[in-house]
Amino acid sequence: MTPTPVLAPISGTVVGLADVPDPVFAEQLVGAGAAVEPPDGAGPTAVRAPLAGTVVKAHPHAFIVRHESGAAVLVHVGIDTVTLDGDGFTRHVAEGDQVAAGTPVVTFDPTAVRGRGLSAITPVVVLDSAPDSIPDLPTGKPVSAGEQLYTWAG
């Protein structure tokens, strides 16, 4: 299988899933991947599709894009942000839409999320992949939206 590049949906610092403050992600129960911690004071931020494909789930706080290879990547915007009921999030796509890598999917303000006592860290996970199946994650390094975050070879 040809490796599939998974792009950073937002700019920030790359964080390993073990350091995400949610056991579902930290223990890789939904799959392997990485997270991006957006900087303080970023202001409204477009969260972009990490790869080309079909939007199979589109919530204000999370979305899934299925690549033509069959890989499905979950982008979860913040932790426990489902409790906000979409407040502070603007969705730009609907389920069933085709998106190119880098297409804006959701806009949110990381500073406003933090102001409500929640984490703005954004996990980017290949669903149903084996734990630790993505090697050489650039944790601790800065990444810009649209740059390669990791490659999925499953």
76 is known as an active-site residue: yes
End-to-end CA gap in the chain: 7
Catalytic residue among 59, 61, 67, 76: 76
For the annotated catalytic residues, the residue numbers are: 76
